[in-house]
Amino acid sequence: MSGILEGIRVIDLSRFVAGPHCTQLLGDMGADVIKVEKLDGDDGRHMKPAIADISTYFMINNRNKRSITLDFKNPEGRKILLDLIRKSDVLVENFRPGVMEKMGLGYSSLKELNSGLIMASISGFGQDGPYAGRPAFDSVVQAMGGLMDLTGDNDPVLCGTWVGDYSSGLTAAYGIALALYQREKTGVGQYMDVAMLDCVFAWIRSSMPDYLLFGKRHQRQGARDLYRCPVGTFKTKDGFIYVSAVTQQQFENFTVAVGHPEWGQDPRFHEESARLKNSGELNALLSSCTELHTSEEITEMMIRADVPCAPVNNIEQVLMNPQLKHRRQIRKVKIHTGDEIPTTGVVIRFQDNPGDVRLPPPGTGEHNKEVYCGELGFTEAELEQLREKGII
């Protein structure tokens, strides 16, 4: 069965994480993604560890794409890029605001070339405003957007993954899908501006209304919850387990499961407001029980008691997870060197048009001949001339 975006061509001028994540999501659903790289490849290729020219950093956001190399700052290279854009549906870039315009590749120019083109620009702070020209990475945006202030126990800390990059990449892919739907009705493409700061700000829970309406400022609480108890991590004999007993019934089930039903009737803990007030005492009591068992034993207790819980797994344990295996989220593909590398699975499962891992992360310029000769009509001699000129 074909992917739901089969027939859609995406030109990917992006690098690092946010843009490549966006285009990988489109490629997973069947889009033909052509990754246009500078002659020595995406900056992410050169990080370590790596297999040949594919670093693990590059692996995770660049499957289901074809790679070509092109110096489109060169006038001849720019003409080739414009020929590609003329034949494409979507363009994704994450240069600093203003760079595309300086190269003559702003949307106002490109829509004259291709009126159906959908262009997405992903940046740290957006294409306009007082911070638009500032450099940004995920960590900077986590700090500015309020997310870092909510994370950690004492000092603010980064989230364990690139929340700003992934949220903006996901948002851009969502926007592109909407724009494709709109184009079906109007025949006209459009431009979208996605800011990492906006995306992170949208993900900081109820911090804004809680502060503006009630003057309540959320505090860092580590793995605990602001409004529910017991919720959080508890030490076990061999690690930690996370329990989320958010309802009265779940709390009572938790106390029964650990062999102390009387705690459910204790005035200090009987109601949610009392549990929050006495959360330190309650968590200490519960920890004294969980520490007597392994994470697996506590998990089984909680499952029988119908209390949401999970062991706090390290990556080795995650890779053994039977549910992830069942849903084919741990895959292997063979790259151009012949090496087999791991990749995650496709996270949306359409019944009739399922996405798939069709292509491994490409080598630098792996598809130059395929794209330039097969789709733009260059001869092999002309391709060699472009190489000699340093254009591809």
CA 327 to chain centre: 19
Instruction: Measure the CA–CA gap between 340 and 332, rounded to whole angstroms.
Output: 6
Residues 6+ apart with CB under 8 A from 310: 241, 242, 299
* DSSP code per residue over 271-320: SHHHHHHTHHHHHHHHHHHHTTS-HHHHHHHHHHTT--EEE---HHHHTT
Instruction: Measure the CA–CA gap between 110 and 84, rounded to whole angstroms.
Output: 11
In single-letter form, the type of residue at position 372 comes to Y
Q: Which of 138, 165, 193, 198 is catalytic?
A: 165
3-class DSSP state for residue 344?
A: strand
Radius of gyration of the chain (CA): 25
Q: Is 339 a catalytic residue?
A: no
Instruction: Measure the CA–CA gap between 126 and 109, rounded to whole angstroms.
Output: 20
* DSSP-assigned letter for residue 46: G
Q: What number of other Cβ atoms are within 10 A of residue 128's Cβ?
A: 11
Token pair listed for 232: 């959080």
Active site residues: 165
